[in-house]
């Protein structure tokens, strides 16, 4: 469907309010049980870079902001500049660690895909989904859905340490 | 904390695996009860543009992909080109509509901020958070936290039609 036809989808505003110019879909926040395991997963397995940490010792939580950018030169080294940059770009992942959850037995958080449902997943796009999934297998990453499972053969789902689903896709058609 | 110091945070990988180059944090998926209400909210209130719709009539669900970009010329008009573009950029919002949920009484989905917790919120960064919040008030948008509520005076939370929290921030310090 052409972009102009999509504009007539029921519910959509007729035009864009100029007051929304400059708005950016900045980040998504997930709570995580064990921040060290999550930082390991998002940095080692998926390539995210940690760009800001904020600790709130009285309220016993910490916030970790990560980005997924190829060129580290994009990320300002100066704290203030990096803070402003981090708040102005899309695709930031915020992980909230409530202190002490890492010592609780079993899973602490709900992935949203069983009742009560809501949030479904985040998605990382990769240049080669087959190569990426082979690497995840080698790394021992748990899969929710392998490429060969089900009817949608061009996408996979892996699970992060809390069980959140991470969809893996590639922008171009897959030869399968 | 300087960026180089952040790199020693426990859990983080020592360096970035070259196999993750080209990875992009592409989208976040939320299930919504009434797609028309959600499309109205995300387009009219927040300025999102609908760039792709996929219907799965046999499985009775539809997927809606939205982006928040200032220059519509960025978005390819050609379907295939737009599909590839949409899968290659950060900051995409995917809304899943399970057909018929709009006719169920009361809320259908869980916002993640009461037990069982997990997902917390998405965040939209705006050039002027005070002006943005005044506009949300005028539009009758429900607030989870106004700028003046609590200790964090530089941020607000509004609620989308399903009750999902949308944080509103600005990149620069707020004079308050």
Tokens coding B157: 């939370």
Give A176's pLDDT tier (boundaries 50, 70, 90). low
Exactly one of A52, A102, A154, A167 is catalytic; name it: A167
Render pLDDT for A68-105 as a digit per residue (tens, 0 to 9): 999 989 999 999 999 999 999 999 999 999 999 999 99
Q: Do A11 and B75 touch (CB under 8 A)?
A: no
- Domain A25-109 shares a fold with domain A117-176: yes
Domain locations along chain A = 25-109, 117-176
Residue B174 has pLDDT above 90, yes or no: no
CA nearest to B98, candidates B166, B30, B28 = B30
Averaged over B83-102, what is the pLDDT? 98
Cβ–Cβ under 8 Å, residues A90 and B91: yes
Residue B141's φ and ψ, nearest 5 degrees, are -70, 135
Percent of chain A with pLDDT over 70: 99
| CATH number of this structure's domain A117-176 | 3.10.180.10
Q: Check pLDDT > 80 for residue A27.
A: yes
Q: Measured between beta carbons, which residues in chain A are less than 8 angstroms from residue B2? A: 77, 79
DSSP string, chain B: --HHHHTTSTT--SS--GGGTT-EEEEEEEEES-HHHHHHIIIIIT--EEEEEEEETTTTEEEEEEE--S-GGGS-SSHHHHHHHHTTSS-EEEEEEETTGGGSSS--SB-SSSSSPBEEEEEEE-S-HHHHHHHHHHTT--EEE-TTSSS-TT-EEEE-TT--EEEEE-SSPP--
CA distances for B25 relative to A125, B131, B151, angstroms: 6, 29, 31
Give the model's pLDDT for residue B176: 55
Q: Cis check for the bond before A114: say yes or no (omega within 30 of 0).
A: no
Assign A35 to helix, strand or coil: helix
For A25-109, which CATH class?
A: alpha beta
- pLDDT of residue A175 exceeding 80: no
Q: For residue A4, name the pLDDT band (cuts at 50, 70, 90).
A: confident
Cβ-Cβ contacts under 8 Å, B75 against chain A:
3
Q: Is B167 designated active site? A: yes
CA-to-CA distance for B134 and A57, rounded, in angstroms?
A: 32
Tell whether the model's pLDDT for residue A131 goes beyond 70: yes
Comparing B14-18, B39-43, B88-92, B136-140, which segment has the lowest mean pLDDT?
B14-18
């Amino acid at each position: 469907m052409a972009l102009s036809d999509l504009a007539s989808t029921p519910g959509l505003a007729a035009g864009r309010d100029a007051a929304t110019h400059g708005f950016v879909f900045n980040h998504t926040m997930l709570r995580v049980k064990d921040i060290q395991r999550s930082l390991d997963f998002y940095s080692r397995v998926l390539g995210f870079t940690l760009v800001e940490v904020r600790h709130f010792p009285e309220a016993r939580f910490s916030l970790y902001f990560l980005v997924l950018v190829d060129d580290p030169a994009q990320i300002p080294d100066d704290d203030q500049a990096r803070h402003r940059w981090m708040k102005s770009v899309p695709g930031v992942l915020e992980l909230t660690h409530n202190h002490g959850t890492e010592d609780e037995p079993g899973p602490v958080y709900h992935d949203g895909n069983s009742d009560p449902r809501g949030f479904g997943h985040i998605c990382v796009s990769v240049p080669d989904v087959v190569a990426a999934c082979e690497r995840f297998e080698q790394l021992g990453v748990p899969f929710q859905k392998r490429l060969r499972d089900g009817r949608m053969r061009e996408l996979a789902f892996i699970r992060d340490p809390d069980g959140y689903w991470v969809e893996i896709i590639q922008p171009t058609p897959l030869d399968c």
